Amino acid sequence: MNIAIDLMGGDFAPENVIGGIKSFLSENRFDAKITGIGTQQAIDMAQNELGAFSNSLEWIVATQVIGMQEHPTKALKSKPDSSISTGFKLLAASKADAFISAGNTGAMMVGALYSIRTIPGVSRPGIGAYIPQENGNLALLIDVGLNADCKPENLTQFAILGSLFSKHILNIQEPRVALLNIGEEEGKGNILGQAVYPMLKENQKIHFTGNAEGRDLLKNKADVYVCDGFTGNVLLKFAESFYDIFQSHNISDEYLNKFNFEMYGGVPVLGVNKPVIIGHGISGTTAFNNMLQTAARMIENNFIQTVSDAFL
């Protein structure tokens, strides 16, 4: 397997990216090659730090970098030699099996949609995020920002994508799927919630358990929580604030510490033709290591083919 990673992505690049690569290769859990993409200066730094792993590394010089605040589509067109553009070119040409970046999120989304496109049968891909449960497990919340406005069929597909990811990557044998709603009873919610409920209930590809309310999100009521991207993004950003607040008040607790999203790395774009993982701009060494671990598991488990088979 060959995993491409953007050395220039993130607020603390390339140092944290290099540290994540070093941790990943040191653990030696996967037979993986890493292709680092970045400026010559970044590559020189990486080669000095990662000399002991040279047999597992390849380098591609990118003369341009897409900034965090640049318009995604314009930046991809005007900077064809950027690290993000180069990563998607490698994916499209099958010269890499996965691509990781903590750079411009919009550019990563646009690149995923238009460079490698969606799996046939998937109308819109979704982004999943990990939500720590009170019992110590992880649940998946999908979508968390790629699709602010959704149709019922989109949420149904998110349910299938999330269920497959939970089963084959998070190793949950029969993932429970719940619709995030404002009440537990069938018939609750807005027009979208009311329309999608019977579709989820009748879908034989998922184990649907009904509606879940916001108060259920951390209570292990389901393994996959489905919602539109607007709702999911608000919830995710709210959850991300927990850890900072706990830290500022010097509160340490085994469960509360799980709200340090650094532990989980980036979020996968589910429904596209190759593994693409988007990291938070503040990603550190642990996050990059975990992103590489997730990408490797997706490749090793042939996850994209599993999704393709489900949408035949």
Contact between residue 166 and residue 205 where contact means Cβ atoms under 8 Å apart: no
pLDDT of 240: 83
Q: Give the torsion sign (CA, 226, 177, 263, 273).
A: negative
**Per-domain boundaries in the chain:** 1-121+271-312, 123-261
277-308 per-position pLDDT tens digit: 999 888 899 999 999 999 999 999 999 999 99
For residue 222, give both structure tokens: 């389901």
Alpha-carbon separation of residue 205 from 28, 160, 199 (angstroms)? 35, 7, 11
Whether 1-121+271-312 and 123-261 share one fold: the answer is yes
Q: What is the CATH number of domain 123-261?
A: 3.40.718.10
- In 3D space, the residue among 23, 24, 28, 36 whose CA is nearest the CA of residue 100 turns out to be 36
Strand partners, 57: 34
CB 94 within 8 A of CB 35: no
Choices 3.40.718.10, 3.40.50.740, 3.30.70.20, 3.30.465.10: CATH for 1-121+271-312? 3.40.718.10
Rounded Cα distance, 205 and 202, in Å = 9
Element spanning 37, H or E: strand 33-38
Write the DSSP symbol of residue 119: P
C-alpha to C-alpha distance for 88 and 286, rounded to whole angstroms: 24
CB 81 within 8 Å of CB 62: yes
Q: Which amino acid, residue 276? A: V
Q: Please name every residue paired with 34 in a beta bridge, in sequence order, or none if there are none.
A: 3, 57
Task: Say what the pLDDT of residue 147 is.
Answer: 87
Residue with tokens 């950027």: 82
For residue 244, the model assigns a pLDDT of 85
Q: 265 near 84, Cβ under 8 Å?
A: no
**Cβ-Cβ contacts under 8 Å for 21 (sequence gap 6 or more):** 5, 34, 36, 46, 50, 53, 57, 288, 292
Number of CB atoms found within 10 A of residue 312's CB = 6
Tokens describing residue 28: 């030696």
d(CA 184, CA 94): 45
With contact defined as beta carbons under 8 Å apart, do 152 and 195 qualify? yes
Measured N-to-C along each axis, helices 15-27 and 285-300 cross at an angle, to the nearest 10 degrees, of: 50
Q: How far apart are CA 64 and CA 61, in angstroms?
A: 9
- From start to end of 113-250, where are the E strands? 126-132, 138-142, 176-180, 207-212, 224-226
Contact criterion met (CB below 8 Å) for 205 and 174: no
Cβ proximity of 13 and 280 under 8 Å: no
What H or E segment, with its residue span, contains residue 145?
A: none
**CA gyration radius, the chain:** 19
Ranges of the chain whose pLDDT falls below 50: none
Task: Specify the pLDDT at position 153.
Answer: 96
Q: Which two tokens stand for residue 186?
A: 């069938």
pTM: 0.90
